[in-house]
Amino acid sequence: MSNDDGVPKDLLERVKKDQGVLSRIASIFPGYRGYKKKEQLRGTDDIIRRGTFRVLQEASSNLRESYRRAVRYSLMDEAREIESLYLLCDSLAQSILHAPRGYKPIAGTTSVKEDDLNKLLEFDASLADIVETIKEKTGEVHTAILQKDIDGLSSAISTLRVKLDELETLMRRRDALLDGIM
């Protein structure tokens, strides 16, 4: 089972269960197993973040189209707010895409424990939920514009602002989590 962006929901579980070749290599080369498992977790986290990025890009694209419609309908105050939201959405998408993969080089290589990588992976997976909500809210903004429902538009913009601010806060927490790991 996978979500709309093609990322299997059980990806983390499959990575944890995939021990065939890894076990054989680990028995030959001591220390390799931990290294390889950490790299698999980082790779899985990267897949999750890229999927989350794509959904957020779609949301941003929805907002750009809503902005164009708002301008076309002479809803200038709303257009300015929507423009601000799509710029924030674009910025957050880039932050997610380029977020560190479970290590932050501070003065050389720092060892990161597998449990810490699991926490980071779970945290990044939780970002997908709020990003999906953001995408839904951009659809509500667009619908309200098409229906010229100013009250609905104001409400949808306000709710979307809250969700984007929440995502921005979560991204700062992610940085703090990585700092704590280090």
Query: In the chain, where are the structural domains located?
Result: 12-181
In one-letter notation, the amino acid at residue 78 is E
Q: Which of 24, 29, 11, 30 is nearest to 118 (CA)?
A: 11
Mean pLDDT across the chain, nearest whole number? 80
- Distance between the two ends of the chain, CA-based, in angstroms? 34
Tens-place pLDDT, residues 32-63? 556 666 677 677 778 888 999 999 999 999 99
Residues 36 and 18: beta-carbon distance below 8 Å: no
Q: Are 67 and 82 in contact (CB under 8 A)?
A: yes
> DSSP character for 8?
B
Paired residues of 2 in beta bridges: 8
What is the per-residue pLDDT across 143-161, written as a single tens digit (0 to 9) for each?
Answer: 999 999 999 999 999 999 9
Q: Which fold has domain 12-181?
A: Four Helix Bundle (Hemerythrin (Met), subunit A) (1.20.120)
For the full predicted model, state whether its pTM sits above 0.75.
Answer: no
SS3 assignment, position 2: strand
Tell me what pLDDT residue 158 has: 96
How large a percentage of the chain has pLDDT more than 70?
Answer: 70
8 A C-beta contact, residue 63 and residue 86: yes
